[in-house]
Structure formats: C-alpha cells, structure tokens
Structure 1
Amino acid sequence: MLNLERLRILDAVARHGSVSGAADGLHVTTSAVSQQLAKLEREAGQPLLAKNGRGVRLTDAGRLLADHAARILSQVEIAQSDLEAQRGRVVGGLRISAFPTAARGLLPGVLAALRSAHPQLAVCSQELEGEDGVRGVVRGDLDVAVVLDWYNKPTAMPEGMAKRALFDDIADIAVPAGHPLAGASDVELEAFAQDEWITWPEGEFCREWLMFTLGGKGFEPRIAHVAGEHPTQMALIAAGLGVGVAPRLGRGPIPDGVRVVTVRDALRRHVYAIWRADADRRPSIRAAVDALYAAGAGREGAPGDAGPEGAPEGTGLGGATG
C-alpha cells in the first residue's frame, strides 16, 4: 500500500526539482525527505530517483508515480474542501501573500477585517513578488496570493488555478519638483523619452513591463538607478536623479521634492486574487477572497459586481465562468 504522506513528498520533489527544495517547501529536513523516499521506493518496488550530477532526477517510474501523486493529492484537497464547506465554519489556518505595494496598501485592512469577522481563523501573511506568489500557490505553500499584471502585459496563469479580479491600480510618473513637466497633467509617455529612469531590479516583472511599454512608444529608457524598494526610488527622484513609475496602491505621502504626473493613456495594473481550484469550496478561502474584494470595491478601477472570473468551469467563488 502506497503511503499518502510519502506520495506528498514525491510530489514536492517533482514540483521543486530537488530534495532540498522539497524539504524547504515542506519545512522538514533533507534527511527526512530522503528517508521517506527510500521507504516509498521499497513500497513501489523500483527506483524512483536517479543521480543527476550533484542532484537527482525522477526515473520513468518516479515521474509516473509523481503524476499519479499530484492527482491523488488534488482529490484529497477537494475532499477536505468539501468537508469544510459542509461544516460551513471559517476556522483553521490560512496562508496568504501579496506583492509589496499590496502588502502595504491592501493587506493590513483585510487581515484586520478577517480577524474581526472570523476570530477562529489563524492567518499567516507574507510579502512576495507576484510570480513568487503564483509559485507558492501552485506548490501548495500558500492558500491565496494577491498578484498583478499590467494592462498591456498579462501574466500567464498555470492550469488548475482560479482567480478573482479585485481592482485596477493606476500608476503615475513621479518626477523631481524642478522637472519641466512637474506641474503638468495628462502627459504622453513619449514626453519622458530624454529622461533618465529609476526603476526596479532587472528580472522583475514590473521592470520588464516598463522596458516593453516604453519600447512600444518608440524609445528605450536610459536606466540610471535601480532600487527594489519604493521609498528608495522616491528618494532618488526627490534628489533630482531621474523619473520613475509611481503606482497609487500603497504609495503613501509623496515626499518633498517629488511631483506626480498623470499619464494620458492611464497605466493600469490589474490586481487579483488567485487560489487552487481544487480548494475552491474551503470557507476560509472564500472568506479571504471576499474580504480582498470588499477592500478593493471602493477603489478607482474596481470591477463592480461582475463577480469572480478566470476560474476553470464549475469553480470559482460564487460560481465562476471559464
């Protein structure tokens, strides 16, 4: 008889690509993972892992069993969701992440509302970039993630995910107070073609979006300074060292020496919640997504009462469409 917890470990190895990655994801030691995999190999009667340089790879039998394990664990998740739905109480634990400006400008109020409405729900939150949040939900390390994409650069979503649109966040251009366009409004992006830019580190989704967007306007931005933290970007702009993108969500007070300029064709970030479709009926996830939606309802760019979207057919809170 194959052991369910050992199948869970094999599934983690397949998803993370290594024994150490699986151990980190499951919050156990690499030794514990190796021991359980050795026992699973004895249960299966054939090798499931093979050495691959300094790491390991799944054998054909290992890949076959890992595929079955993923389906079995998905069914277990659905069963647990159905049991929780039948009980109807928002209790237990919930793990949620949000990208940095949402972690600052959205999540605190949502977490406070959940604590007030559902005191028996223990919520653990963390700040993660959107792509890391997606990976966390896929791996099962997170229950819900608040993620984003841009109006002209959507993010690919893995299979088996459900999502709900929360609101659109508008971004302005932040310029030094002495910039020629500091007092302007409704400005075309092309007006900043000769400026130096302060932006996110290379490889981050928002940095890639900026390069893609400005390239589409016919110019390549001159990146003068790079900073991952928004306050650092603002400080550099205040010092007169360049211009940058300033999303409104979580922005806080504009520092002295900085002005924000509205772009004629608004730069919009789509903000939405994602979760695994096989956990769709869990009351804790329903409560969290509803709280996120309510928090975004009063914002400019909120989707109104359209309800959840983008979930696989037959799933999604409140009845999503495909």
Structure 2
Amino acid sequence: MLDLARLRALHAVSVHGTVAAAAAALGYTPSAVSQQITKLERETRTSLLERRGRGVALTEEALHLASAAQELLAVMERAETALEERRGVPAGRLTVAAFASAARGLLPGALAALGARHPELDVRLTEVDPHLSVDLVAKGSVDLAVAHDWAPPGPGGVPRLPAPHGLAQVHLGDDHCDLIVPAAHPFAGGGPVSHADLRGERWIGQPAGRVCHDWLVGTMRAAGHEPDIVHTAEENPTLIALVAAGLGIAVVPRLGSGALPPGVARAELVPLPRRRLYAVWRAGAARRPAIAAAVEVLREFAPGCGVLPGEERRG
C-alpha cells in the first residue's frame, strides 16, 4: 500500500515546481522531501523525478501518481472536515498562504489572535507570490489564502477577484495605496494630484504580469497617457528605496510598507487607489470550523490595515 505522506510530498513538488518550494510549503527540509520521494520510488519501482538543468521535473508516471494523490488528499480533507465539524471545535493543521505585504502587515497579529482563541489549531503560514495563492488553494496545497485585487480604473470600478470553480471567497477589507514621491518633488506637500497630472512622470513599479503593474498601466491609459516605467521591483520596500534615491515615483500599498524613510513623501492622489483583500478557500471545506474561525479573525484585523490614523475608510 502506498504511503500517504510520501504521496503528499510528490503532490507538493508537482504543485510548487521544486523540492525546495515543496519543502517550504510542507514545513519540512528539502532533504526530508527528497527522502520521501526516494522511498516512494522504491515502493512503486518507478522513477519519479528526472534532472533538467539545475532543477527536477516529474516523469509521466509521477504526474499520474500526483493526480491520484490529489484525489486522495481531497478525500482525506472531507473526512477531516466532517470529524472537525462533529467536534465543533477548530482543531488540527490549517495551512495559509499570503502575499508578502499581507504576510508582514496583517497575518502576524491575526494568526496570534487565532492561536490564542483556539489552542487546538495548528496554523502554518507560507508567503507566496500573489498570483499563485488562489491556484495553490484550488490544487489543495494550502487550506486558505489571503489574496488581493485592485479596483479597476474609472469611476465606480469594483474589483473582482477571479475564483476558480470549487472555491469560495469573502471580502476582508480594503488596503489604501499612496503615491510616493521624492521629498523634493513638486507633488510633495502640495494639493491633490489627479491621474492626468501624472503625464510625463518616471515610474517605479512591479514587473509586468503582476496585478499592481496591470492596475498602473490600465489607470494611466484610462487617463490618456502611457506610463514610463523605468525601474521594476518585486517588494514595496525596494520601490520606496528607489523613490528615495530620486529615480521616479511609485504607487505603494500601505499594508506592510511600514513607516516611510527620509527622502520620500506621500502625495494626495485622487481618487485614492485601493486594493481589496480576500480570503479564499475550497468550497468543500467551508463547514470546517478552522476555516470559519480563521476568516472571522481575518475580517476583524483587515479593515484597519490600509488606513492612516484619523483617516476615514472608503469603499
């Protein structure tokens, strides 16, 4: 009989793409994951991983086995959900994925409160790229994800996070975003700045394909001009550091960005950009008390995450 833990390790590699990433998601060392897969190869008498460049790829047999593992893990999840539901107490392991700024600015306090209220719950957090988190939930690699989407350009735009079939989601709150400029920039300390006022500015933004990048390009095009993105970076602190060096301006979410360093200033961009935060989970696990408890705490902590002191919430 095949060992479920070893199948779980293989499934994680198929989802995350590398042994190291699978290990991080499972909370193991890469060596432990490799050992599980080696044992599974012996059990099945089949080669499951093959070298490709500096990484590994799953063989055809491994892909078939990983698909079967996903079905088995789904059955296990339904059984665990039913048992936890009968007990009526949030318990067991709950895996959560979140993008970087949520992992830094929202999850620490929320997870600490969740653990204090439900000591039988073992919560594990993984920081992932925002465009990957929903897919990880859909594939069963994590139980719950905190994801985001930006309000589309134009008046009355309502963001909508695409949710694959079989997933459920709830709006947690909004994260307001600031126009960050060098301290000596004309926008610093001035009046409101419109989208039209941004024509000809040099931008520092996230790479193409990121939600933040798409929002910037779409918003500036809606205002009648193409943004000149001269530098790109993944992390908000890097964007801010580049602004502080006088290399351009940026729109930066407040969640997780921390206090602004010397050399930069907030400018009043109107309308104020915002992104909406969502919790996403598999619909089949909706009855699980752990999911309900986690969503409840996240909804408590998220509303104040992107608001400056004394500022009223919008949206």
TM-score (norm 1): 0.75
How far off its partner does 1:295 sit? 1.0
- Describe the SS at the equivalent of 1:170: strand
Q: Verify: 1:159 aligned to 2:171, yes or no.
A: no
How far off its partner does 1:182 sit? 1.8
Q: Verify: 1:198 aligned to 2:204, yes or no.
A: yes
How far off its partner does 1:133 sit? 2.1
Amino acid at match of 1:211: V
User: 1-side partners of 2:134 and 2:249: how far apart?
Assistant: 30
How far off its partner does 1:281 sit? 2.0
How far off its partner does 1:177 sit? 2.0
Percent identity among equivalent residues?
A: 41
User: 2-side partners of 1:109 and 1:197: how far apart?
Assistant: 33
How far off its partner does 1:274 sit? 1.1
| Matched positions, count | 296
Aligned pairs for 1:64-75 within 5 A: 70-75=70-75
User: 2-side partners of 1:207 and 1:133: how far apart?
Assistant: 18
Amino acid at match of 2:219: T
Q: What residue in structure 2 maps to residue 112 of structure 1?
A: 112
CA gap 1:71/1:222 in 2 versus in 1, 3 angstroms: same
**Superposed CA RMSD:** 3.5
User: 1-side partners of 2:285 and 2:118: how far apart?
Assistant: 19
Amino acid at match of 1:172: D
Amino acid at match of 2:242: L
How far off its partner does 1:24 sit? 7.8
User: 1-side partners of 2:4 and 2:126: how far apart?
Assistant: 29
Q: Verify: 1:285 aligned to 2:291, yes or no.
A: yes
How far off its partner does 1:277 sit? 2.0
Q: What residue in structure 2 maps to residue 44 of structure 1?
A: none
- Describe the SS at the equivalent of 1:223: strand
Deviations along 1:133-152, one digit per CA (max 9) or x if unpaired, are: 22332333322211101112
CA gap 1:109/1:10 in 2 versus in 1, 3 angstroms: closer
Q: What residue in structure 1 maps to residue 270 of structure 2?
A: 264
Alignment check: 8 A CA contact 2:70 2:139 kept? no
Q: What residue in structure 2 maps to residue 180 of structure 1?
A: 186
Q: What residue in structure 1 maps to residue 156 of structure 2?
A: none
- Describe the SS at the equivalent of 2:270: coil
Q: What residue in structure 1 maps to residue 93 of structure 2?
A: 93
- Describe the SS at the equivalent of 2:137: helix
Structure 2: unaligned runs, 5 residues or longer? 153-158
Q: What residue in structure 2 maps to residue 225 of structure 1?
A: 231
How far off its partner does 1:68 sit? 6.0
Structure 1: unaligned runs, 5 residues or longer? 42-46, 304-322
Q: What residue in structure 2 maps to residue 139 of structure 1?
A: 139
Alignment check: 8 A CA contact 1:50 1:58 kept? no
Aligned pairs for 1:283-322 within 5 A: 283-298=289-304
Amino acid at match of 1:231: P
Q: 1:236 aligns with which of 239, 242, 251?
A: 242
Amino acid at match of 1:94: L
User: 1-side partners of 2:21 and 2:235: how far apart?
Assistant: 27
User: 2-side partners of 1:126 and 1:10: how far apart?
Assistant: 18
CA gap 1:38/1:277 in 2 versus in 1, 3 angstroms: farther
Q: What residue in structure 1 maps to residue 37 of structure 2?
A: 33
Q: What residue in structure 2 maps to residue 275 of structure 1?
A: 281
Amino acid at match of 1:77: E
How far off its partner does 1:9 sit? 6.5
Alignment check: 8 A CA contact 2:24 2:126 kept? no
User: 2-side partners of 1:302 and 1:82: how far apart?
Assistant: 39
How far off its partner does 1:2 sit? 7.7
Alignment check: 8 A CA contact 1:12 1:139 kept? no
User: 1-side partners of 2:73 and 2:84: how far apart?
Assistant: 16
CA gap 1:15/1:174 in 2 versus in 1, 3 angstroms: closer
Alignment check: 8 A CA contact 1:162 1:275 kept? yes
User: 2-side partners of 1:106 and 1:20: how far apart?
Assistant: 26
How far off its partner does 1:114 sit? 1.3
User: 2-side partners of 1:133 and 1:110: how far apart?
Assistant: 18
